[in-house]
Structure formats: structure tokens, C-alpha cells
Amino acid sequence: MRHRVAHRKLGRTTEHRMAMLRNLCTSLIVEERVVTTVAKAKELRSFAERAITLAKRGLTADSPEKALSYRRRAARFFIGGHAEIRLRYISDKKRQKRVIERTGGVRALKKLFDEIGPRYLERPGGYTRVIKLGWRRGDGADMAVVELVEPELKKKEKSQESSGEA
């Protein structure tokens, strides 16, 4: 029986599985599409949709304390780490300047609350789609693309633009 079996183990320990899902979710939010195996894609879909739902709730929260709480809860879905200080060459390439670069998790969280959350405010769920690609040549793994679903407004605008040009 499969009572109370919530997710796939993916042949990994809990810590490894959570780190992998956080990395995939960070890439999905930043790039808006990820190519991975079908099993990982199906796990990632529910993982990422929970993060997007938290962003929507944070945007519609009635107090700043609740909004901050939702933001912090959503941050658990992305890779952590501190900002990295890197040396970059300035335009004349003779001097170096210290630049603080954001980690992927910080960029993903900012994009989630600034762009993706408002994009899906009216949508009740189903923010991602999984499209199967076929078998990977090297090891025969079944591959898939996980991508964020475009909102209906953009599709309507694109169709109106194309019909208006003709």
C-alpha cells in the first residue's frame, strides 16, 4: 500500500534530494525553464508551485509582518549562501574593482516576488508545465522540460499584435 507516501526519493538521501530540488527550483525561477529527467521534473513541479503560491500570498498579505513571513518561507525553496565578493576589471582593464554579486537564491527570490508572483496573481494554480523530450542518448534517461506557463494576457496580446500587422 502507498498510504502517506508523499514524494519520490530519487535514490538520494533527504539532504541531497532537498539540495537538488532547491538548485533546480532556483534555476527554474531565474531561467524560467529547466531540462532534467522526468522523475525530477515531476517532483520539481510541485516544489516550485508551492514557492510561487507563497509569493502570491506575500503580495496579497494584509500586513508587512505577514508579507515578510511569506518571503522568508519562500526563501527556503532556493539555494542559500552569502553574496560573493568578486574582482572585476573596470572598463580600462588596468584596475580591478570589488563587486558584490548576488547568489542565485537571492536573485531567484527577488524575481519571484517582483515578476513571477504578480504575473500569476489571478491564476489559481498550475504555474508550471512538464513537456517530455524523449530519451537521453548517453544513458537512456527519460528527459523533460519544466517551464513556467505564460499567462493568458501575454498570449492574447501576442495574437492581437500578429493579427493587427496582417
- Report the pLDDT averaged over residues 136-147: 96
* Residue 27 pLDDT grade (very low, low, confident, very high; cuts 50, 70, 90): very high
Whether residue 9 is contained in a domain is answered as no
Contacts of 151 (CB under 8 A, 6+ apart): 119, 120, 122, 123
Residue 153 reports pLDDT greater than 70: no
- The whole-number pLDDT of residue 84 equals 64
What is the total count of domains within the chain? 1
Give the residue ranges of DSSP H helices in 36-135: 38-59, 64-75, 104-111, 117-119
**2 occurs within a structural domain:** no
Domain holding 132: CATH number?
3.90.1030.10
Whether 6 is in a domain gets the answer no
Q: Which domain holds residue 48?
A: 14-165
Mean pLDDT of 10-33: 94
CB atoms within 10 A of CB 123: 13
In a domain, 8, yes or no: no
Which pLDDT value is given to residue 103?
A: 79
Q: Model pTM? A: 0.79
Q: Is the separation of the CB atoms in 30 and 104 below 8 Å? A: yes
